[in-house]
Amino acid sequence: MQITGKTALVTGGNDGIGLEIARQLKAKGARVIIAGRRAAGDDAIAVDLSTADGCKTLADAVADKSIDILINNAGMSGNFGPEDPVDLALTDKAIFLNFNAPLHLIGHMLDGLKARPEACIVNVTSGLAIAPRAGGPVYCASKAALRSFTQALRFNLKDSKVHVVEALPPVVETQMTAGREGSKMSPAECARQIIAAIEGNKAEANVGMVKILQLVHSISPALARSIMIRF
């Protein structure tokens, strides 16, 4: 896809990966609309995408913007550890934001995307959608669901003008991973690889170490699971 001249909507665009995607798309000549919990500057929409009403509000707000690229990036952990009480309200919110919100936005916006000369949907999942870690059951499950949906959606839209990309980041330096030890990719490099997949019409953007995880999983899913469950 040629990005110059396109209009993109990036959810979760106030910080982290989403903010870097927005910056880099703008640098390539796209008009970028950011959706997040707070509005900062022009072409920014404050909205809570953890509810159906919030998703509808956003879709209505951009209905006349001729969106070419929809990037479903907004997400949250909603996780709990083995000794933690289960906060069902929090888990429901996380599952909606991580999984239902992309479905709602696509449902509201698909006809408009199909009407564009070329369009792209990017669903940001995670390497943990391939194999889960014990410390993130809710996040992993919701991202795995979005991965499955994305694969089916891609097949269903294969004869349309809408290209579907799944972006699978590794651990990235964001607010969500603050305080977590170990190596983390910069949001800028993660965004660069995702945008390269958009430009190259790739089906997946396996970012950084996720390439190795995909290889291990292709050889032995059980081995990939045994490694990642303790990650």
The pLDDT value given to residue 7: 98
Q: Which residues of the chain have pLDDT under 70?
A: 81, 178
- Rounded Cα distance between 153 and 143, Å, is 15
DSSP run (H or E) holding 95: helix 88-95
The residue annotated as part of the active site, out of 71, 128, 130, 139, is: 139
What is residue 137's predicted lDDT score, i.e. its pLDDT?
A: 92
pLDDT of residue 157: 98
Active site residue 139: yes
Q: Are 130 and 210 a contacting pair, CB within 8 Å?
A: yes
pLDDT value for 65: 96
Q: How high is the pLDDT of residue 174?
A: 83
pLDDT (0 to 100) of residue 219:
98
Residue 42: per-residue pLDDT: 73
Structure-token match 């965004």, residue found: 191
DSSP class of residue 28?
A: T
pTM of the model: 0.93
CATH 3.40.1710.10 correct for 7-228: no
Confidence (pLDDT) at 57: 97
Looking at residue 221, its pLDDT comes to: 97
